[in-house]
Amino acid sequence: MESKNIFLIQNIQQTNQEIKLINKQIEKLEREIEFENQDLKPNLKRLEMKIKENLEEILEIEKEKNNMKKDEFLKEMEILEEKITDFFISIGFDNETQTQSLQMLLQIEKKVEKILSSLSKLPQNRINKSIKFQLSERRRTERILNLEIQKKQQEERNKRALERSKNFQTKQIKKPQMFRTFLIKKNKKEKEIDQEIIKKKKERRIEEEKFLFSQ
C-alpha cells in the first residue's frame, strides 16, 4: 500500500511539472502572437482607406481629363503617381524596376488580401487585446509628445519674458507707459518645434506600416 502511494505521488508531481511546462509554452506562444499582430488591424484599416482614396483620385481624373488641357492632365497624373509610389515604398515594396501605378495598386491589393486571410485565422480575443494595447501605446506616445511641446514652448516663453525684464530694467522710465494686450503668437522657434513633432508622428506612422507589411 505504501509503495502504491509513493507511486501515485510521483505521478502527480510529474504531471504537475508537465502542466507547468505546457503553460509556459502557451504563454510564450501568446506573447509571440500579440507582438506580431499588435499593429495589424489599425494599420489595415488605414491602408484600405488610402487605397480607396487613390482609386477615387484616378476615377476623378479620368472623368475630368476630357475637360482639361493636355499639360494639366499630365501634371495631375504625375502628382497622383508620385503619391502612389511614395505609399508603395512606405509599406515595404521595392520600386527599383519602376513599377507602373496600376501594378502597384494591384500588388497592394494582394497584400491586403493576404493580411485579411492571416487576420481571419487569429483568435478574436487576441486581436481585440492587441488593438487595445496598440491604441493605449499610441495615446501614451501622443501625451508624451504633447508634454514635450508644452515644455519647450514654456521654456521659450520664460526665456523671452526674462529678456524683456532685463531690457526693461536697463531703460530709464521717463513717464508712465500705456500697455496694450496682444494676442500671443508663436515665434519661429515654437513653430519649428511643432513641425518637428508632426514629423515624428509621421515617421512613427510610416514605421508602423513598414512593420505591418514586413510580416
What are 153-209's pLDDT values in tens digits?
A: 888 888 888 888 877 777 655 555 555 554 555 566 667 777 777 777 777 777 766
Give the pLDDT confidence score for residue 162 in this predicted structure: 87
pLDDT tier, 7 (very low <50, low <70, confident <90, very high otherwise): very low
pTM of the model: 0.31
Residue with more model confidence, 120 or 152: 152
Q: Is the pLDDT of residue 4 over 60?
A: no
pLDDT tier, 39 (very low <50, low <70, confident <90, very high otherwise): low
Give the pLDDT confidence score for residue 3 in this predicted structure: 52
Find which of 41-50, 138-147, 166-175 is predicted with most confidence, using mean pLDDT.
138-147
Residue with more model confidence, 25 or 108: 108
Give the pLDDT confidence score for residue 102 in this predicted structure: 79
Residues in the chain: 215
Cell of 168: 526693461
Q: Average of pLDDT values for 28-57?
A: 69
Q: Is the pLDDT of residue 135 over 70?
A: yes
Q: Is the pLDDT of residue 33 over 50?
A: yes
Separation CA 62–CA 67 (nearest Å):
10
Q: Is the pLDDT of residue 26 over 80?
A: no
Give the pLDDT confidence score for residue 14 in this predicted structure: 56
pLDDT tier, 125 (very low <50, low <70, confident <90, very high otherwise): confident
Distances from the Cα of 102 to the Cα of 55, 82, 84, angstroms: 10, 12, 9
Give the pLDDT confidence score for residue 164 in this predicted structure: 82
Burial 86-121 (b: 16+ CB within 10 A, else e): ebbeebeeeeeeebebeebbeebeebbeebeeeeee
In the chain, alpha helices (H): 2-37, 40-64, 70-90, 101-120, 124-170, 188-213
Q: Average of pLDDT values for 72-94?
A: 79
Q: In whole numbers, what is the pLDDT of the chain averaged over residues? A: 71
Neighbours of 81 (CB within 10 A): 14
